[in-house]
Chains A and B, each alone.
Chain A
Amino acid sequence: MNFSRITIISGHYGSGKTNIAVSLAYDLKRIREKVAIADIDIVNPYFRTKDNEQQLENAGIRLICSEYANSNVDIPALPQDMYAVTDDKELHSILDVGGDERGALALGRISPAIREENDYQMLYVVNKFRPLTKDADSAIEVMREIEAACGLKFTAIINNSNLGAETMADDVISSLNYAAEISQKTNLPVLFTSVNRSVAEQLNGEIDNLYVMEIETKL
């Protein structure tokens, strides 16, 4: 994909946005020297970008994340170096934003600077198999809540519809109309449909615009 300087990934929690953010960070690193992934999820206490800390470091990707992530300190703290994302114009960043309107509130701290620079895209990750975003209207409702909380508008949609380890090719195919309806009702393009490698092999070229995630989904 064509990366802006800042790529913001958000969506309802459990949509799979952290896996997509990490995978995109690896892609970005292939074309840019200075790359960071910033985890500003203040809601989720367990599954964090920090789970991939070692691999990111090996790839030369800077991890910006609360020093309390994955610890017993249950504090919704933001990383102190998150301002590097907006201040350091040499840096290309992927932002992993928290799971709903409360999580997205944290992004509001730097959204004025992001708007002012205006070199960003904000991608809404959707999963048809999640109960609170199971149809286009409910997915759009969550989307508008996130936009209102963080003060930025989404620019495109990522269809990451999946049933975890049980995902079959047919499940992904059945989600295409859902993504198209969200796209039509919001006037935003579907950037791609994302799957892991085993599902991609099953799909065997059946879907255009397929994105194969580089990391295996946890649990």
Chain B
Amino acid sequence: MADKVLMKGNEAIAEAAIIAGCRHYFGYPITPQTEVAAYMAKRMPKIGGTFLQAESEIAAINMVYGVAATGKRVMTSSSSPGISLKGEGISYLAGADLPALIVNVQRGGPGLGGIQPSQSDYFQATKGGAHGDFHMIVLAPDSVQEMAELTVKGFDLADKYRMTTMILADGTMGQMMEPVSLDFEVGEKVEKPWAVTGTKLEREHNIVNSLFLKPEELEKTNFERYEKYSYIEENEALCEEYMMDDAEICVTAFGIAARVAKNAINEARNQGIKVGLLRPITLWPFPKKQFAAAADKVKQFISVELSMGQMIEDVRLATECKVPVTLCNRAGGMIPSPEQVLEAIIKANNGGDK
């Protein structure tokens, strides 16, 4: 066990980013993600990196744009209201096809909301997150270990596809402490011939921009970008299957909700109920194939969420509503209990909602 350290989820993200080669962090404090910034403030000066507390979230995301344009690995982190402020910059990153990592440690909303955990930014994260036609790759960790691993993967995917990756966590994941092994592989370095690094008068200058004067050209970039998105949907969707082999009821949940759901499923299995879990690890691309396959086997889906029901829409789309999909939820900073989920499973097993 000597190779493990005890970390908060927020710290694990920060340390993993450093391992992944990120040397530029820009952010603005907000609960419950502040430890990401605090950790970077301590570590970056010691390794020749940049930690900068910007004057606002908007300033921070535009600093991310600047460093991303030079081809360096760069990140920012915030929590729900702060991510909304970053929205404009997130869209500009998409329009300029720039790789970057954005972390959202969600809290309850809407508005200023509260500081307790939530998953109610699912729509915002998976449907683009700001104006214009675009997607981010969205990764949803369910342990401190995954907070670290998906951060590294997030940088690799961002570079590979020249787009923004978001880590969509929640306050509990950010604050909880678990042992972590930081011994993991970082992907191969991706060449970035498009980066603005100085021409040395040896090549044409590169332009990083999201403004197009001719609508025909802007349309062309949109179609090209969506071809890339199709490829990603085909190749990068990730989903954990738990006790699904003989399952007649499929619980689906991500992040902290999946941990609660597993406890409930274990208890339901003790009671002889055939129930399993599909846990999307990529929220975009949504693991449609696994859900479509499950829809041919199970009699009901239960979507467990810390929101008023957002992922449930993707579950219904992916399963083409072949069987009922019900919601088991808490909102506004509250977390469903294993007992609440177990009750929903028992109800489904007894015939459920139609």
Contact = CB atoms under 8 A, between A and B. Distances in A.
Interface of A: 13-14, 45-47, 72, 74, 100, 127, 129-132, 134, 162-164, 166, 168, 170-171, 174, 219
Contact of B4 (A47, A132, A166, A219): A166
Contacts of B175: 45-47
Nearest to A15: B6
B177 A164 contact: yes
A129 B179 contact: yes
Interface in B6-42: 6-8, 11, 15, 31-32, 35, 38-39, 42
A132 B32 contact: no
Given A163-B4, A163-B6, A171-B1, A131 B178 contact: no
Contact of B15 (A13, A131, A162): A131
6 contacts: A14-B7, A45-B175, A46-B175, A72-B114, A131-B15, A164-B179
A123 to B, nearest CB: 20
A170 B7 CA distance: 19
A219 B179 contact: no
B2 interface: yes
A130 B5 contact: yes
Given A72-B114, A131-B15, A219-B177, A45 B2 contact: no
A132 B179 contact: no
A63 B1 CA distance: 37
B115 A14 contact: no
Majority secondary structure, A binding face: loop
B333 interface: yes
B115 A72 contact: yes
Majority secondary structure, B binding face: mixed
A164 B31 contact: no
A214 to B, nearest CB: 20
Contacts of B115: 45, 72, 74
B2 A174 contact: yes
Nearest to A217: B177
A162 B38 CA distance: 22
A63 B268 CA distance: 39
Contact of B176 (A131, A162, A219): A219
Given A46-B171, A132-B42, A162 B6 contact: yes
Given A127-B6, A166-B179, A46 B32 contact: yes
Contact of B1 (A14, A46, A127, A168): A168
B116 interface: yes
Contacts of A100: 38
Interface string B35-65: 1001100100000000000000000000000
B4 to A, nearest CB: 6
Contacts of B171: 46
A164 to B, nearest CB: 6
Given A132-B42, A164-B178, A171 B32 contact: no
Given A163-B1, A219-B176, A72 B6 contact: no
A72 B179 contact: no
Contact of A72 (B15, B38, B116, B172): B116
Contacts of B172: 46
A167 to B, nearest CB: 8
A45 B31 contact: yes
A187 B6 CA distance: 27
A219 to B, nearest CB: 5
A176 to B, nearest CB: 14
B31 A74 contact: yes
A131 B7 contact: yes
Contacts of A45: 31-32, 115, 175
A162 B108 CA distance: 32
B2 A72 contact: no
Nearest to B12: A131
A67 to B, nearest CB: 15
Interface in B149-176: 171-172, 175-176
A42 to B, nearest CB: 12
Nearest to A132: B42
Given A130-B7, A164-B177, A166-B179, 6 more contacts: A46-B175, A47-B175, A129-B4, A163-B4, A164-B6, A166-B1
